[in-house]
Amino acid sequence: MKHTCPHCGKQSISSWAKFNSSSLHPAICPSCQGHAKQHWASHPLEDIFYVIGMPGILLWSFLVESWWPIIITVLFLTVISTLKFRYVPMVAVDLSLAKKQHWFAFGCLLVVFIWVVSDAIGK
């Protein structure tokens, strides 16, 4: 099974390349050498499910003293993510933008690290 390249529109990207793709490690289209990655954006209903549904299912599982609600949820999420992997098209990657975003995230982590260390030393 091949996936559609967002640059040239050909079904040229392998499932393994799509599975491993990210913004810093994109899949490279064999026919046009374009960079692409999986589209991770979610539907608002999914976000509502993760925020409200997940704690609800954990509480339900706790109240009925059974693992079944959690097992069914894991199976359901596996099916949903498989369908999304198959049917959600890939998106183009801007490597320079991705590098800037990762350096920004690294800088934020560094600030938090310095803050925690200085807090630990100060006491």
Binding-site ranges for Zn ion (CB under 5 A): 5, 7-8, 29, 32, 34
Q: Which is nearer to Zn ion, 5 or 17 (CB)?
A: 5
DSSP annotation string for the chain: -EEE-TTT--EEEEHHHHHH--SSS-EE-TTT--EEE------HHHHHIIIIIHHHHHHHHHHHT-SHHHHHHHHHHHHHHHHHHHHSPPEE--HHHHHHHHHHHHHHHHHHHHHHHHHHHH-
User: Between 20 and 101, whose beta carbon lies closer to Zn ion?
Assistant: 20
Residue with tokens 């064999």, as numbered in its chain: 30
If the CB atoms of residues 26 and 34 are measured against Zn ion, the closer one turns out to be 34
Specify the residue, 9 or 56, whose C-beta has the smaller distance to Zn ion.
Answer: 9
Give least dist CB 85 to Zn ion, A.
Answer: 19
Shortest distance in whole angstroms from residue 28 CB to Zn ion:
9
**What minimum distance in Å lies between the beta carbon of 27 and Zn ion?**
10
- Shortest spacing between CB 30 and Zn ion, in angstroms: 8
